[in-house]
Each structure stands twice: as C-alpha cells, then as structure tokens.
Amino acid sequence: MDDRENNQNADESQKKVPLSLRELLLIILSGHIGVRKREQRVNDFGRANGLHVFIAAVLYFALIVTGLIALVSHITG
C-alpha cells in the first residue's frame, strides 16, 4: 500500500511543477487563439502562478495594442 501511495504522491508532485516561461507564453498565446483543450487548461491552471499569468497577459495585451496602434498609424500616416 505504501508503494502505491508514494507513486501516487510522486505523480501528483510531478503534475504540480511550476510552468516555465515558455509554457506560460504558450498558454497565453493559445488562450488568445482559443485552441487549448479543457483538460490541458485545467492542468495549466493547477500549475500556474496566477500573478505570473496576469503579468504576462497584461504585457501581451499591451504589446498587441501597441502593435495595432503602430500598424494603423503606418497605414493612415
């Protein structure tokens, strides 16, 4: 029984590994496009630090808005 519990705890601890910067950017981009499966999204929310996701999403949003403003200025200017 102890071996099963240890294996189960080891599996759970592997799932709780924090997201890397690359993975964080990937979930933000896939969230923007809307192509993430439900079980992947649930797994990501379990592993992600909410503050990191919020900061990265705000920076991504600012980058998109700045890019759109620059594009419109270039086209109309």
Buried residues in 32-53 as b, exposed as e (16+ CB within 10 A):
eeeebeeeeeeebeeebeeeeb
The pLDDT assigned to 59 comes to: 94
Enter the pTM of the model: 0.66
Domain with 56, as residue range(s), is 2-76
Q: Which residue has the tokens 């919020």?
A: 54
Number of domains comprising the chain: 1
The pLDDT assigned to 48 comes to: 87
pLDDT-derived band at 72 (thresholds 50, 70, 90) equals very high
Cα separation, 23 vs 17, whole angstroms = 11
- For residue range 2-33, list pLDDT tens digits in order: 556 555 555 555 557 888 889 998 888 888 88
pLDDT exceeds 80 at position 52? yes
Give SS3 for 20.
coil
